Amino acid sequence: MPRVVSLYLPTWPTDRLRRKLGASAPSADTPVVLFGRQGRRREVLALDAAARNAGLRIGMPASKAQVLVPGLVNLELEPAEDAAALDRLALWALRCAPIVAADPPDGLIIDTSGADHLHGGEAAMLTSLVARMEASGIAARAAVADSWGAAHAAARFLARPIAVIPRGQAADVMRDLPIRALRLPNSTVDGLHVLGFERIGDIEDTPKAPLTHRFGSVLLRRLDHAMGRAAEPFEPVRSPELIEVRRAFGEPIGAAETIARYTARLVDQLCAALDQQGLGARRLDLVFYRVDNRIEAIRVGTAAPVRETRRLTRLLTDRIETVDPGFGIELMTLTATLADPLRARQTISSLVEPEEPDISDLIDVIANRLGSSRLYRFAPVESDVPERSVKRVAPTAPDDGASWPGEWPRPSRLLSPPEPIDTMALLPDNPPVWFTWRGIRRRVARADGPERIFGEWWLREAETQSVRDYFRVEDEGGERFWIYRAGDGEDPATGSHKWFLHGIFA
């Protein structure tokens, strides 16, 4: 079953113009509206949140809007530029999934089938999308459902700011939404309101023949789209700058072995095209167009630019089992949606020179199965506070030579957050005689410390006086722990004087 994301941009035209104006744009608290002509009348066609809060509405005459809000900032709507910018935004969204399209006038549609695990799940993916939009000054909501119609409706009437509709439950959720969520013409919505229809469930429970006779087939077609009973294909956006190869079939194919064979041929063609431009693939999208107008896709990524045919073929064919060919596939396309320059690398020039290990192939296999967000390594950070002294970096990130200080050993495992323990100790500089952690009392046989760590006052004012006294202790069973006291043992301003277990040595 496909999973479709609808990204709704409620104030898209005004947000785009604010970004275009840059420093000269009005402040966020200043109402901004965009005027345009509908027939002979000049009216409000788009507005931002501040204008909506001021009582303005889309469709309001321009003269009335200017009277209601003196000093209103008004600009002319630019439909062509808005549409072009929306297409560029859809190209940017290709980083999320292989199948993306603009959903004019104020949204994007993304088929994330088989790609959500690369982003940590559907909820994490939607949260990241909305956060990226808002960081760029674009208000956004997002929803994911089993069909375009359901996701479109949920993003506009449920998402605050995200909504995840579980598989198979779209019909139950749609019943309570207003009929405007069906993407019907205004005249049809008005006619349904006159007849007393308010919710989608009202239409679902009504005999369909009279409704079709009065409003045409579009009403039931939109209802089937929202309920997930009918597929609604869309053409994915593609940039002419992307390197793409394709293969059309006179007779549809469906066997996994046949798909794998043609995948290998497409990879050969793509690598030849990448070689001509001196590039290596970082992300590949293999898209399958079925005879029933459904689209299936496979996305794989690599940790470094790659142009090796066998390696890329294996990554793609490992995912063929996730593809549903339906009644057959009539077209396959392979696109390098992300490619970087591939520099030549010096090979071993001496028989005694050791070979440098290359584990990027293994990293690619694991990352494409589990998701790249789950694969990382730790790198040191210049900070005395233990929990701030490490960061996550990409598995293949270059080593910058930094390391942790060697005069005081650090445990192989840090607890996050540190866990409170009960202790008995002589203050202020003595280690505990015993401590209780997770219900088990441990008598201390050996101890070393204290190592005093001061707070980083330049980051937080509350850490101006705070200190921690760390001890390395070993219990009678030989297990070693890293514990600390919050405070110097004398001055209450330096900490609570409670004890915590922060790490375990190997």
Q: Can you tell me the mean pLDDT for 76-93?
A: 89
Query: Who wins on pLDDT, 467 or 117?
Result: 467
Q: Which residues pair with 199 in a beta bridge?
A: 178
Q: Which residues pair with 333 in a beta bridge?
A: 246, 287
Give the integer Cα–Cα distance in Å for 486 and 474.
20
Helix, strand, coil % over all residues of the chain, rounded to 5: 35, 30, 35
Strands 295-306 and 243-253 turn out to be: unpaired
Four-residue CA torsion sign, 456, 462, 464, 470: negative
Q: Can you tell me the mean pLDDT for 348-352?
A: 57
Query: Does residue 293 contact residue 261 with C-beta atoms inside 8 Å?
Result: no
Write out 24-57 in H/E/C secondary structure: HCCCCCCCEEEEEEECCEEEEEEECHHHHHCCCC
Question: What average pLDDT is seen over the chain?
Answer: 87
Query: Nearest-CA neighbor of 249 among 285, 286, 295, 291?
Result: 291
pLDDT band, very low/low/confident/very high, at 369 (cuts 50, 70, 90): confident
pLDDT digits (tens, 9 = 90+) for 3-36: 899 999 998 888 888 888 887 788 878 888 888 8
Torsion angle, alpha carbons of 226, 228, 232, 234, to 10: 90
Query: Nearest-CA neighbor of 459 among 380, 382, 377, 379?
Result: 382
pLDDT digits (tens, 9 = 90+) for 126-175: 999 999 999 888 999 999 999 999 999 999 999 889 999 999 899 999 99
Q: Which residues pair with 472 in a beta bridge?
A: 448, 482
Query: Nearest-CA neighbor of 44 among 21, 23, 74?
Result: 74
Give the integer Cα–Cα distance in Å for 42 and 45.
9
Q: Which token pair is 387?
A: 């929990």
Predicted TM-score (pTM) of the model is 0.69
Q: Is the pLDDT of residue 409 over 90?
A: no
Q: Is the pLDDT of residue 442 over 90?
A: yes
Which pLDDT value is given to residue 367? 76
* Size (the chain), residues: 506
Q: Is the pLDDT of residue 372 over 60?
A: yes
Give, rounded to a whole angstrom, the gap between the first and last alpha carbons of the chain: 46
Q: Is the pLDDT of residue 437 over 90?
A: yes
Main-chain dihedrals φ then ψ at residue 475, nearest 5 degrees: -85, 180
Q: What percent of the chain clears pLDDT 90, i.e. is strictly above it?
A: 41
Q: Which burial class, exposed, middle or buried, applies to 241 when counting CB atoms under 10 A from its CB (0-12, 13-18, 19+)?
A: exposed
pLDDT digits (tens, 9 = 90+) for 286-329: 999 999 888 888 888 888 888 999 999 999 999 898 899 989 99
> What's the gap between Cα 449 and its chain centre?
45
Give the integer Cα–Cα distance in Å for 144 and 160.
13
Which pLDDT value is given to residue 474? 94
Tally Cβ neighbours within 10 Å of residue 278.
13
Q: Is the link from the previous residue into 492 a cis peptide, with omega within 30 of 0?
A: no
Q: In what order do the strands lie in the sheet with 295-306?
A: 243-253, 329-341, 279-290, 295-306
pLDDT band, very low/low/confident/very high, at 371 (cuts 50, 70, 90): low
Query: Does residue 115 contact residue 97 with C-beta atoms inside 8 Å?
Result: yes
Q: Which token pair is 252?
A: 């549809």
Q: Which residues pair with 414 in a beta bridge?
A: 503
Main-chain dihedrals φ then ψ at residue 499, nearest 5 degrees: -105, 145
Q: Which token pair is 154?
A: 């949920």
Q: Is the pLDDT of residue 373 over 70?
A: no
> What's the gap between Cα 27 and its chain centre?
28
> What's the gap between Cα 256 and its chain centre?
30
Q: Is the pLDDT of residue 347 over 60?
A: no
Q: Is the pLDDT of residue 412 over 90?
A: no
